[in-house]
Amino acid sequence: MIKILLWALCLYLVFKLCHLNFSPKKNFAYDDRSLRDKLIAGEPYVILIAVAAAALINLYSYWFVHRLARREVAHATECYGRVGASQKLAGINTRFDYWLLETFTADARNIAIEHAKWINMDLHSVQAGLQSSKAKYSAVYYKLSSRNNVQKINQEETEIERCVNDQWAPHGEILNP
C-alpha cells in the first residue's frame, strides 16, 4: 500500500507539472485566475490518473516478479536434476568439465532457493523437488547408459549443455520474464 502511495505521489507531481506546462494556457502571466485556481485546475482527474497508473504499475511489477521467480525455480530444479545426475550418463566426462558441472549444480540449487524466497515458497518443498529431480534423472541416465542408447544419450547431453549455457527460454521481455 505504501508503495502504491509513493508511486501515486510521484506520478501526481509529474502529471501536475505536465498539466501546468502543457495546458492550453501556457502563459500564466496573461491568465486572470489566481495561483490557487491555476494549481487546482483539473485536480480530480490528475489524482485519479496518478492513482490508477500507480496501481497498474505495482500490479504489473508484482505479477512480473512472481512469474519470473516461479519460472526460475522450475528451471533451476530441472537443470539441477539434469546436471547433478549427469555423472550417471555414459561419456559425459569427455564432453564437459567435471568442475563446470559441479559449479553449475551448486549455482542451480542456490538460484532455486533464492527465487523461492522471493515469493515465500516453502524451502523444504523446493529442496525436496531438487532431490527428486536429481533422483529422477539419475534413474533415467543409468537406464540410458546401461542400454547404450547413443541417440538418446546425445539428446540428453544437448539438454545438459542448454542448462549449463542458460539457453532455456527467451527472457527479459516485458511480458516474458
Q: What is the pLDDT of residue 3?
A: 79
Length of the chain: 177
Q: Are 19 and 46 in contact (CB under 8 A)?
A: yes
Q: What is the pLDDT of residue 145?
A: 86
Q: Are 81 and 129 in contact (CB under 8 A)?
A: no
Nearest to 120 by CA among 58, 60, 70: 70
Quote the pTM value: 0.72
Determine phi and psi for 24, rounding to 5 degrees: -60, -30
Q: What is the pLDDT of residue 15?
A: 78
Counts of helices then strands in the chain (DSSP H, E) = 7, 0
Q: What is the pLDDT of residue 148?
A: 84
pLDDT along the chain (177 residues), means of 10: 80 78 62 68 74 86 88 92 88 79 92 93 93 94 87 88 80 65
- The letter for the amino acid at 163 is C
Q: What is the pLDDT of residue 41?
A: 67
Q: How far is CA 56 from the centre of its chain?
A: 18
Q: What is the pLDDT of residue 62?
A: 87
47 is written with which cell numbers?
489524482
CA pair distance 130, 27, nearest whole angstrom: 66
Reported for 97-105, long-range contacts at CB under 8 A and 24+ positions apart, including other chains, are 100/164, 101/164, 104/79, 104/163, 104/164, 105/80
Q: Are 7 and 57 in contact (CB under 8 A)?
A: yes
Determine phi and psi for 26, rounding to 5 degrees: -80, -30
Eight-state DSSP code of residue 23: S
Q: What is the pLDDT of residue 47?
A: 79
